[in-house]
Amino acid sequence: MIICVCRRISDREIARHARAGMGFDDIQFELGVATQCGKCEGCARDVVAQCNGACPSANISLGADLAQGQAWNTRSV
Ligand code: FES
């Protein structure tokens, strides 16, 4: 799933970097996620937080908001 629409960055790509040991700031610098409109920052941080450790991307759950029918970018940060 695309997390950052502006930079076209997927959750898998963020998760891959997080599992490699990178923190959000490093991933942001490397990929450019959340560097334009910034609306994806909360979701991107959630992905990084869930992947700290050895969490496979299949376990990423951004579903809480989506299951409630809220758009990905409506969360307050
Ligand atoms: S959606 Fe990521 S910076 Fe705009």
Does a structural domain hold residue 72? no
8 Å CB contact between 17 and 47: no
Q: How far is the CA of 65 from the centre of ligand 1 (A)?
A: 18
**What rounded mean pLDDT belongs to the chain?**
82
Cα gap 67→44, rounded to integer Å: 18
Does a structural domain hold residue 77? no
- List pocket residues of ligand 1, CB cut-off 6 Å: 4-7, 33-40
CATH at residue 38: 1.10.10.1100
Q: Is the pLDDT of residue 44 over 80?
A: yes
Instruction: Give the domain extent around 62.
Output: 2-67
8 Å CB contact between 17 and 51: no
Specify the pLDDT at position 52. 77
Spacing of C-alpha 20 from chain mean position: 15
Mean pLDDT (whole number) for 16-43: 96
Q: How far is the CA of 56 from the centre of ligand 1 (A)?
A: 24
The residues near 2 (Cβ < 8 Å, ≥ 6 apart) are 8, 9, 10, 11
For residue 31, give the amino acid letter.
L
Specify the pLDDT at position 39. 97
Does a structural domain hold residue 75? no
